[in-house]
Amino acid sequence: MILSKIFTSFTFRFLVSYVAWLSLAVFMVLALIYAFIAYDFFAEVHHSVTEELGSLSQAYQEGGEPAVENFVKIHSGPDRLIRFFYFVGDEHLNKIAGNLDQWPDSEEYRDGWLGFNFESMLDNADSVGTEFIARSKQLPGGEHVLVARHYADVLNSTKLVAGALTRSMVATILLGTIGGTIVAALSLQRIDRINITLRRIMTGDLTERIDINSSTGDFLRLSENVNQMLDRIEALMTGVRQVSDNIAHDLRTPLTRLRNKLSSLQENCADPGNREEVEALIEEADGLLGTFSALLRIAQVESGNRRSGFASVDLCTLVSDVIELYEPLSAEKNQVFHTGLAKVGSFHGDRNLLFQAVANLVDNAIKYTPEGGKVQVNLAVEKNVLRIEVADSGIGIPEEDREKVFQRFFRVEHSRSRHPGNGLGLSLVQAVVKLHDGYIDLKDNKPGLRIVLRFPRPEQLS
């Protein structure tokens, strides 16, 4: 899992790309170096053979066979670093002098160069390899002079250089990859710490800040800037919430008194017409009180303070209780009420908030589904999540409005006049789901709406 995160991280992919291009550049440089070295090696071979051929020809012309034998003795001894072989023959290529027994059976290349292979013996104890390069010329007297050089040492040198360059290339790739993995792991570790802090902040704890004690360089500056941004956001959110909470709290008290006085007035009202008007005013007051209570609950949930009330919750029992509460309401509208509840075990959360969230969804499904329609409530286990699903065959929500319905007080246009409400139900559901590290999705049920809540399974919770 950790290696997978490292290998898929941007840092690792960037460094791998960098190493690939660096390796290509190194390969081109090393290939160029090899080409120069190989050229110098073979140029030196050609130059040395040509020089020896001139010296041997001069020695024969000046001193004949004795001079050649002395030349060979000096230039091909066992203490020589480069091994040359010499042959001087008559016009019929019969040997006159030299340390080659016969004119070699050679293959001619361009510019008069010869190549041949055979086992040459300087003496019984000195065996020389089989790869030779040679050059020859004919003297004015008709004699043929040939100088050969055993060039296996050159090939071995070039192979040694090529091997060293190849190992350098492999070392560059290996060290670059290992270095990229280490750097990516360190960067990923720092990013994970930042992500953990940001996830806590997204759940509502705006007091969390990124730890800057272990950060340096760019990560330090990034963490400081994010912390300053969070300070500003916390100040703004605190101000907005405080104003909202104060308004809701301050207005709820006089509304409660107004409602109580209207109740007293209703009891003492003798005129039936006035009684109906008072009753309507009481309903309006109850609606306003419900709105303010919902605002305060949403603010409390979004603040993250309700996490202190988390405990083990049996989701199957919880959903069953919601169904038991609302099934009679569905039966009054002759709706088909389907349920499918799996045993999912215990879940760590706030039972009251989860109950209220599921109840809001079921209540909306029944409310917006016409008589004779269908309502479906499912509880299931997926690979890494627990899924609560509420579906209906009602009027649904247009796709363009599905993100907006989570905004406070937003209501879909076609439902404003047909169904009472304050537009806070789904806002509260979303706040509860986020508090429990879950996700909410709205989907088309064709017809109707399908709402899916997903929560991490207990073993996935941190």
The domain boundary, picked from 115, 140, 156, lies at: 156
Could you read off the pLDDT tens digit of each residue along the chain, which spans 462 residues? 566 666 666 666 777 777 778 777 877 887 788 778 777 777 877 888 888 888 888 888 888 888 888 888 877 666 565 677 888 888 888 888 888 878 887 777 777 778 777 654 444 444 444 577 788 888 888 888 888 887 666 667 677 777 777 887 788 778 877 877 777 777 777 777 788 888 777 766 677 787 777 666 677 788 888 888 888 877 776 666 666 666 666 666 676 777 777 777 666 665 666 667 777 777 777 666 666 666 666 666 666 556 666 788 888 888 899 889 888 888 888 888 888 888 877 888 888 888 888 988 898 888 888 888 899 999 888 877 888 999 998 888 877 777 777 776 666 655 544 555 556 777 788 888 888 888 888 888 888 889 999 888 775 444
List, in order, residues 6 or more apart from 336 with CB less than 8 Å away.
372, 373, 374, 375
Q: What's the token pair of residue 238?
A: 């605190």
- For the chain, the domain total comes to 3
In a domain, residue 91? The reply is yes
Do 278 and 359 sit in the same domain of this protein?
A: no
Q: Which of 280, 302, 324 is the last residue of a domain?
A: 302
Q: Is residue 378, in this structure, part of any structural domain at all?
A: yes
Of 302, 320, 345, which closes a domain? 302
CATH of the domain at 37: 3.30.450
Q: Are residues 347 and 247 located together in one domain of the fold?
A: no
Same domain, 361 and 385: yes
| Domain enclosing residue 313, as ranges | 308-460
Q: Copy the structure tokens of residue 8.
A: 């898929």
**Same domain, residue pair 368 and 254:** no
Q: How far apart, in whole angstroms, are the C-alpha atoms of residue 48 and residue 164?
A: 26
Judgement on whether residues 279 and 367 belong to the same structural domain of the protein: no
Q: Omega before 447 cis (within 30°)?
A: yes
**Whether the Cβ atoms of residue 136 and residue 116 lie closer than 8 Å to each other:** no
Nearest to 396 by CA among 375, 368, 373, 421: 368
Give the residue carrying structure tokens 């510019």. 111
The answer on 321 and 290 residing in a single domain is no
Q: Are residues 152 and 227 in the same domain?
A: no
To the nearest 5 percent, what fractions of the chain are helix, strand and coil?
Answer: 60, 20, 25
Q: Where are the alpha helices (DSSP H) in 369-461?
A: 413-416, 425-435
